[in-house]
Structure 1
Amino acid sequence: MSFIRTFFKDIDPEDLGFTYSHEHIVCIPQYWKEKNADDLLLDDPEKSKLDVLDFKELGGKTIVDATAIDYGRQVEEVAKISEETGIQIIGTAGFNKSFLWKAHLTDHLKKVVGNYSTYGDWIEDKSINELADFVIKEVEVGLEGTGFKAGQVKFGTWYNSISPLEEKTIRAVARAHKATKAPVHSHTEAGTMALEQIEILESEGIDIGNVSFGHMDRNLDPYYYQEILKKGAYLSFDGIGKIKYAPESARISAIIELCKKGYSDKILISGDTARKSYYKHYDYGLGLEFIIKKWIPRFIIEADNAGLDGTGLIKKFFVENPKNCFTFKV
């Protein structure tokens, strides 16, 4: 039996449809709130909903909301957007990265995780298996005490480093995956430390074919990609439109080269739209429509010019690969 878990129900993988594999819809990270970093606070559900509707009108069907508990999830607001728009949402259990854990817990989250001051205190105090049990509950019962279940589990590490607490959460998420069969997603800061993460996951007995590695377009390194892909993982190119990190030509060239090497079935594409300035209906940014309206037509042209089937590759990146990646294989 296999299924994909969305907020409202488990679905047949064939019903997933056109999917963005890594986005943030409504989130108020406490770390950034305490620093008054308004751009990083997606705090207006009605504006977020308008961008989701743009996605829907262009043929989108599913969005993976990759917001973990330590990045200010607003579970009920996102569920409401899913219900009102008809867009399927895959939620995320697990953790992001250690620098966020310095933030103070909100009163709501103190009720969820216990009366700790910060995430770091909570993670340090709990055993690996206790953290795993928390993640398992979010997959099997619901996120933060709601009835909306997670469809993937996540961990993350900081730039060129893995702290002891981050290793602890990697192991907890690995054990939660083994218990639930939920697909695994990795946050790699600026695309670093994936190979080191793999070493930890393999020591926990994890099949890396069940893991997607985020932010791979922040580290455009063909050798690095090949070493990760040898393990069977998915590469998530989820910074589409973020020219401040690399020109779009560099991302597209890297993806085309991977396709030429036979890895087209291991590529996911998304925008990681986690700032007001990225959203069309907050601050007039590119929005959730950009990939479909602008990036896909360009990619098809460049892929066709390289002797590939651009239209066929788009179906893989947005339909077939997410369908395979986000399936619980039980």
Structure 2
Amino acid sequence: MRTALPPTVRPAVRTVTGPLDPYTVRGPVLAHEHLVLDLDRHGDRAAVLDPQLHAPAVTGELTALREGFGLALVVELTCRGMGRDARALARISRDSAVAVVAGTGWYYAPFHPPEVRQAGGADVGALTEILVHEIRHGIGTTGIRPGVLGEVGSHGDRLTGAERRTLRAAARAALATGLSVATHAQLGRGGLAQLDLLTGEGLPPHRICVGHQDLLDDPVTHKELAASGAYVSFDTIGKESYQSDGVRLRLLLGLIDAGHADRALLSCDISRHAYLRTEGGQGYGHLFGSFLPRLRAAGVEEETIDLLTRRNPLRFLTGGHFSP
């Protein structure tokens, strides 16, 4: 059950530069992105967005999207063990004048840092304490507090033991702090298992976003997730090597036609420097410049576009307390 806030309390989105009143957000939100990232495990430096080398290009793209499309907010889901840099996020946010939400939690098992194994033998309680402390006191010594748990992950239809523990810790930390949880479901698989585990800890579905569902060509699963009240994230838009945007469009239109437009989130998940516009990639703006025009051409009205790109992510971030 959703708990109503007292009339005098307005929900706030916690950004890297301070609290943001969601009622002041007039432009669209990118619901699942990376601005600073390091997933390099083989020395090729491909899955990297370096805070020094690539930050100028990232900042330039966000600035252009703010000026051209009104981009207002980016949900940045680089969490623990993924090369997160809170100070760099704050610089990018200030320089681009685009608000940024930072994440916390743990990615899927191959990227778990040693602390997952070391903290109380990966005890769920000890892992929860790590997350709650960071949410309440800030990332490292920065004082910058995360505004979402994510992207907390698993890979495959069955979660590993470590993934179950980190996801349970995320759910418990969410309940303790009021934040919502965004997941990484590798290639879209395992989303229902994630939902069952998170709700099993008592977290309401409307505070859960199941990630990468546009990589899973399974409308039945999407509708089941949405019907539960969880958000269904179509967040790799433009990554044609994984899935064509034509398939993404069909899946999203199916979800909208089934009456679940209020459960979908959209983004591009820029996770390699080759995806940046300066390096010939599709960039963060692919959603606005390419995919949304196709959605409009398919007959989706502007009110629904606003729902998908602004109101839904704000409701997710505020735990359902944002009611425009």
Q: 1:271 aligns with which of 243, 268, 273?
A: 268
Residue 36 of structure 1 pairs with residue 28 of structure 2? no
Residue 322 of structure 1 pairs with residue 313 of structure 2? yes
* Paired residue secondary structure (2:228): coil
* Paired residue secondary structure (2:38): coil
Shift of 1:277: 1.4
In the alignment, which residue of structure 1 is the partner of 2:20?
Answer: 11
Unaligned runs of 5+ in 1: 106-117
Q: 1:77 aligns with which of 72, 83, 88?
A: 88
Equivalences for 1:127-206 in 2 at 5 Å? 127-154=123-150, 155-206=152-203
Asked whether the equivalents of residues 23 and 64 of structure 1 are also in contact (C-alpha less than 8 Å), the reply is: yes
* Paired residue secondary structure (2:232): strand
Equivalences for 1:236-251 in 2 at 5 Å? 236-251=233-248
Shift of 1:122: 2.8
In the alignment, which residue of structure 2 is the partner of 1:312?
Answer: 303
Shift of 1:292: 1.3
Q: Which has the higher contact order (CA 8 A, sep 6+)?
A: 1
Shift of 1:26: 1.3
Q: 2:217 aligns with which of 220, 223, 231?
A: 220
* Paired residue secondary structure (1:292): helix
* Paired residue secondary structure (2:84): coil
Amino acid in structure 1 at the alignment position of 2:156: Y
1:55 & 1:135 partners in 2: Cα distance?
32
- TM-score (normalizing by structure 1): 0.88
* TM-align CA RMSD: 1.6
In the alignment, which residue of structure 1 is the partner of 2:208?
Answer: 211
Find runs of 4+ consecutive structure 1 residues off by over 4 angstroms: none
Amino acid in structure 2 at the alignment position of 1:71: M
Equivalences for 1:246-265 in 2 at 5 Å? 246-265=243-262
Task: Give 1 or 2: higher helix fraction.
Answer: 1
Asked whether the equivalents of residues 54 and 288 of structure 1 are also in contact (C-alpha less than 8 Å), the reply is: no
In the alignment, which residue of structure 1 is the partner of 2:3?
Answer: none
Distance 1:250 1:124, change over 3 A: farther
Deviation string 1:261-319 (CA, Å, 9 cap, x unpaired) is 110011110000011111112x22111222212221121111x1xxx42x222111111
1:98 & 1:284 partners in 2: Cα distance?
31
Amino acid in structure 2 at the alignment position of 1:321: N
Unaligned runs of 5+ in 2: 1-8
Shift of 1:126: 4.0
1:316 & 1:202 partners in 2: Cα distance?
25
In the alignment, which residue of structure 1 is the partner of 2:108?
Answer: 97
Shift of 1:145: 2.9
Amino acid in structure 2 at the alignment position of 1:72: G
Deviation string 1:123-153 (CA, Å, 9 cap, x unpaired) is 5624211211111122222123311111101
Count how many residue pairs are aligned between Structure 1 and Structure 2: 306
Deviation string 1:210-263 (CA, Å, 9 cap, x unpaired) is 100110001020111122112100011011111112221111111111111110
Deviation string 1:13-44 (CA, Å, 9 cap, x unpaired) is 21233100000001123xx1x41132211112
Shift of 1:194: 1.1
Asked whether the equivalents of residues 98 and 120 of structure 1 are also in contact (C-alpha less than 8 Å), the reply is: no
Amino acid in structure 2 at the alignment position of 1:313: T
Q: 2:98 aligns with which of 87, 90, 108?
A: 87
Asked whether the equivalents of residues 240 and 271 of structure 1 are also in contact (C-alpha less than 8 Å), the reply is: yes
Asked whether the equivalents of residues 187 and 214 of structure 1 are also in contact (C-alpha less than 8 Å), the reply is: yes
Amino acid in structure 1 at the alignment position of 2:17: F
1:290 & 1:76 partners in 2: Cα distance?
26
Distance 1:268 1:161, change over 3 A: same
Shift of 1:3: 1.8
In the alignment, which residue of structure 2 is the partner of 1:297?
Answer: 293
